[in-house]
Homo-oligomer: A and B are copies of this chain.
Amino acid sequence: MVELPKYRQVYEFLRRQIVEGAYPAGEALPSENALANAHGMTRPTVRKALSLLISDGFIVKRRGKGSIVKGAPKGIGILSITGTTSAVGRDNILTHIILKPERRRWTEAFSFPVSEEEREAGCIYFERLRVVEGTPVFLDVTMLPDVRLPHFTSYSLENRSLFNFLRVKYHIEVTGGTQQLFAIRADKRLQEHLQVKAGYPVLQLNRKIETTRAGFHIYSQVFCATRAYGLIGTF
């Protein structure tokens, strides 16, 4: 088992501190030098951790002032790299398996081109519904190539983060991705699962997710009814 790199450790540490409210919104984190001392590392390493917090939208930095904690945003941060599970408040999200992982042939990956190797490997396909505080919010369709994933289809993903699952079971780390956004009308299937009326506007997200394993991508399609929560993100 490989240790997380130092900058990731501090990142995780600070992230937890912030969401737990150790630093109220508007307050500054300890200075970069202070953090470096406290964690036994140098300033460049701390800065790398902080830059992750910035791109996650947890802090902003002001020259001469410090790293100021942003208030917890209202909405669901699915636009960033964090998976759906950790994007919400986490405690109040339930995952319901609509279609268990099964092997398929690739047809297409949500308008993303599929490489030759991926096509040959075959496709693992499953559908999940995410329920936040009793109301269905996401319909999540996932496709990934069936290469070196022993016993994948026999595991249950009920209430489990796919990204964490891939990391601990198969050593696959998510590194980033591309996404495409559309506004569409709810069709019959979406009406049913997301509990909206016919023709209701729904967000559609097509994502191609890069990983540390070269050539291994996760293709994911998310449908989201934004009546209560908007999707939020930072840039």
Contact = CB atoms under 8 A, between A and B. Distances in A.
A17 interface: no
Q: What is the total number of copies of this protein in its complex?
A: 2
Contact of A180 (B184, B199, B201, B230): B230
Chain A interface mostly: strand
Q: Which 7 A-B pairs have the closest CB atoms?
A: A201-B201, A183-B201, A180-B230, A181-B231, A183-B183, A182-B226, A183-B203
A163 to B, nearest CB: 13
A102 to B, nearest CB: 28
- What is the size category of the interface that chain A forms with chain B? 35 or more
B235 A180 contact: no
Interface in A204-235: 206, 210, 214, 224-226, 230-235
Interface string A146-184: 000000000000000000000000000001111111111
A185 interface: yes
A75 interface: yes
